[in-house]
Amino acid sequence: MAVFTYFKHKIMQTTFLYTITLLIVNFNFAQETGSISGVVVDGEFGDGLAGANVLIEGEMLGAAADMNGLYSINNIKPGAYTLIFSMIGYQVNKVTNVEVKAGKTIKIDIVMNAQAYETDAVEITAKALTNTEASLLSHRQKSVSVSDAISAEEITKSGSGDAASAMTKVTGASVVGGKYIYVRGLGERYSTTTINGAELPSADPDKKSFQLDLIPSNMLNNINTIKTFTPDKPGTFTGGLVDVTLKSYPEKFTVSVNTSVGYNSIATNNENFILGNSGGTDWLGIDDGTREMPKALNGGKIDIPRISAVKTKEQAAYLDKISKSFNKEMKPKAANALPNSSFGLSIGNTTILNKNNSIGYFGSLTWGQNYSFVDNGEVGRFKLVGNLNDVSGLESEFSGIDIKGIRSVDWGVIGNIAFKNPGFGEIKLSYMRTQSGESTGRYMYGVRDRDRTTASSSTTFETRVVSWQERNLNNFQIDGEHQISSLNNMKFEWKASYSKNEQIEPDQRYFFNVYNVQPDGNKYYSFDAANSQPISRYFRDLGESNFSTQANISIPFNVWKNLSAKIKTGFSFSEVNREYNQRRFDYDMNNLILNDYAGDIDALFNNVGIIDSLSRPSRPNRWFGITIDNEAIQDSTNYFRGDSKMQAFYAMIDIPLIDRLRFVGGFRYETTLMNSRTLDNKDEKGTLDNKDFLPSLNFIYTLSENMNLRLAYTNTIARPTFRELAPYQSFEFVGDFLYKGNPNLKRTQIKNYDIRWEWFLNPGEITAFSVFYKDFTNPIESFIDPTFSDDNALRSVKNVDNARVYGFELEARKDLGFISGSLNSFKISTNFSYVVSEVDIPKEDIEEKKANGDINPDKTRPFAGQSPYLFNFNLSYENTDSKTSAGLYYYVFGDRLFLTGRFATPDVYERGYSTLDLKTSQGIGNNFIVALSIKNILNPAQIFSYRLNNNLVDKEFIYSSIKRGITYSISLTYNL
């Protein structure tokens, strides 16, 4: 332990000294020459213009832009110069009065437009700029919809490890549970995720939401979040459509190799770290069969005799075989939490076959392993007893300590190849596979206050959990883009995609016991099966696939004053299939075994199967110690399937109405058929059959060359999930409640109103202000059925009348050179969102609260997961002369609803907290980059709590509270 403590302090000292040294070195960096750098951007498409030439007029100095449009010219003597930007097929641009100073780098970003005919060079006066995300902002300026984006460059600078964590930097976006994306306070059914434009399936058992933490950050080219609907996009997003664009082939040969190692202040080498049992391929995030269901049970309904039904030796032998076929390990064990580590490799190139044909390719592999640990978490459950307005506190059911260790392994591969011909167009084939495996060991213990009979008496509970979860995504795509010059440069685009997302949870083990300390100091153990979940093993797997096709035709034409316009039309088709299976096996125990249990779980499970066949040879059902219970796996409602087919046709026009006013609008017509059913043909099916006409009206007024005012009115929809539509009742083993779907659900219809003002100050800089309002009809909300008398709550869903979401967003990105030339290398980026949501509470919940003492219950509540405010502030530093960069990233969100309370018990909220990250990097020579980062510097407590607020008290009660620790890491990258 002392060695690792030393290692920890050394990393902290090294990181601190390294960062201070970099800043000192670069503030005192002085040379006799200066530099010019920047990015060259295609004016029509907003992409970096690879291969563009940048020359200093009258000097033998220049550079060519790389694959991202970036260029750098070094060793320039101080003075005033003229830059010449040129590229075949583009207008030549001259930038005059470029003042170069010794020891300084001036940044010149330029937008180049295609050359329609012979013309003189365009002359521009130089402006000092500092941002290199100009291509995305140029896209955004010309976009037909309200959108926000984050580039691969910014993702790398921030140290985000996956697509989910990168999304926290986007205006109006938040991440719940580390994987679920919420845009403008709306998630799950109100957001859609696509990859390279094709919609992704969801393997989450309860949500219509792709888990974005499955996509590693070094596979990303950019993430674009579209916030207003246009007819060429799916009609099923209201908060936002998150389009993840993967890296594609480069214009020249590139190789990149990176590796990292990290230390977590709580997890790494903690002597108390625990995990479940492990398999030989856990390092790949794939179970090697260690946790799979015994082969004797791996098929349909299994006829396992219960102890009371065992009459013969043959039946006893069969039950003995089945009971002993499971792994006996039922508790987490001590393990070593190694330092976090990762590795990545990518390679790509474009090969010129002849003067007209080329082939590009790109491949990437990434792997990472992380350990996390909660060593002193708090957990508690409370309920309201009495009249809400007369109590000064909630009654504790139990409270305790939570200890949880997690080892997660994530890897991914992508590969794509493209054929390109100027006359024919481009065809691209791509494949992506990501895999995540997570092993968890958990031990909770504490006081079960509901059993307390006197002020000094109590029952101590102990819960042990061993679990493994695999998630994976496979995505195949083929797409093409063709421009037909003989048909007025008509563009034809097509795409076919197949994706499958799986979540597999084999052999999750739950062991629960209680004990009381006797007067003599000994512990008396029992299992209290009547008031707790029985000792059990749980298997669940879920898979969802999505096959989709789409085709689009764009026809450009000119209107009054020779202004450009475009008609776009197309169709799409998608078919989604989902399968869900879950099985639970409970254990029955002989009373003698129960009485002998003294807290040793391993010793207890040495009594599985037949333990005594001699004392009562004629009573085989009395031979057993511990046996598997057959009851839970006979229920056909543990298996269900769902399918849906969606077809859509759209037409839209992009046309200038007057010189400065542009209209983009049209309609989308979608037909949808959804079915959900169990394996039992006797059960009713859930069906949704809809036809929707969805208009979209967008007006873009150009206030000046770099300033837009956008107004939009759109209609969108949100559909129920397969499980919500299925009308059967089932026991949800994870969560310990009953759930019943509703076949009478309607889809939700939403009217969206948006206004955005945006000012693109310079390439890479922006100031923007947005206002939005959304009106929901028939939103789907969960409720607890008050007529259900079972001890377990029955949860269901229904349409309520209305909901509303409204708010505003502020955004600014600006370099600090306008304050002083010495601050040219610094940039700030900040955004703030304020959101209010109000959804009608189901009348069943309102009546239930009234019946339990809440005289005047609320009639509305916010959407679950919606924060009233989000705030990002980033301060970055970049010196291209010394190849040094550093960034400080601050993020905070407001309280958000986590769980609605039963009866009059208050709801549970996740309390807002702040995070602060630091990342620095240093280029070494032409090929190496070393980076140091500190994540979660503030190490806030993540608290979920009830809040009782009445006439007597305003008090908080802990549902759970944990700390994640501070993570320090160092990485090395080689680029060729």
- Residue 299 is predicted with a pLDDT of 56
Query: Please, which pLDDT band fits residue 763 given cuts at 50, 70 and 90?
Result: confident
- Residues sharing a CB contact under 8 Å with residue 976, sequence separation 6 or more, in sequence order: 253, 254, 255, 256, 927
pLDDT of residue 168: 84
pLDDT greater than 60 at residue 324: yes
| 84, 110 contact by CB (below 8 A) | no
Q: Is the pLDDT of residue 525 over 60?
A: yes
How far is 720 from 899, CA to CA, in rounded Å?
19
Q: Is pLDDT of 635 > 60?
A: no
Residue 972 near residue 412, CB atoms below 8 Å: no
Contact 37, 73 (CB under 8 A): yes
Show Cβ contacts of residue 63 under 8 Å, excluding neighbours closer than 6 positions: 53, 54, 71, 72, 73
Stretch 204-218: mean pLDDT, rounded? 80
Q: How many CB atoms lie within 10 A of CB 875?
A: 15
Whole-number pLDDT of residue 364: 93
Q: How confident is the model at residue 788 (pLDDT cuts 50, 70, 90)?
A: low
% residues pLDDT > 90 (the chain): 40
In terms of phi and psi (left: phi > 0; alpha: psi -120 to 50; beta: otherwise), the region of 219 is alpha
pLDDT at 855 over 80: no
Q: Which value, in Å, is the radius of gyration of the alpha carbons in the chain?
A: 31
pLDDT digit string, tens, across residues 879-908: 888 889 999 999 999 999 988 877 778 888
616-620, 638-642, 861-865: range with highest mean pLDDT: 861-865
Per-residue pLDDT averaged across 196-212, rounded? 81
Nearest-CA neighbor of 892 among 186, 212, 240, 168?
A: 168
The DSSP call for residue 682 is T
Asked whether the predicted pLDDT for residue 116 surpasses 70, the reply is no
Q: Please say whether the beta carbons of 242 and 212 come within 8 A.
A: yes
pLDDT at residue 123 above 60?
A: no
The pLDDT value given to residue 3: 40
Confidence at residue 430, expressed as pLDDT on a 0 to 100 scale: 95
What average pLDDT does the segment 323-327 reach?
88
pLDDT tens digit sequence for 670-719: 999 999 887 666 667 888 999 999 999 999 999 998 899 999 999 999 99
E runs forming strands in 126-282: 147-151, 173-176, 180-183, 191-195, 198-199, 220-226, 240-246, 254-264, 274-275
Which of 76, 77, 112, 83 shows the shortest CA–CA distance to 97? 83
Check whether 653 has a pLDDT greater than 80. yes
Structure confidence at residue 781 (pLDDT): 84
> Does this chain's domain 139-247 share its CATH topology with 333-590+625-975?
no
Identify the pLDDT of residue 456. 53
Topology classification of domain 32-128: Immunoglobulin-like (2.60.40)
User: What's the CATH number for 333-590+625-975?
Assistant: 2.40.170.20
Q: What percent of the chain has pLDDT over 70?
A: 88
C-alpha–C-alpha distance, residues 39 and 16, integer Å: 32
Domain definitions of the chain by residue range: 1-30, 32-128, 139-247, 333-590+625-975
Q: Identify the CATH homologous superfamily for domain 139-247.
A: TonB-dependent receptor, plug domain (2.170.130.10)
pLDDT (tens digit, 9 = 90+) per residue, 12-56? 444 444 444 444 334 343 346 788 888 888 776 666 777 788 988
What are the E-state strand segments in 278-357? 333-334, 340-352
Cα-based torsion angle of the residue sequence 269, 270, 275, 280 in order, rounded to the nearest 10 degrees: 10
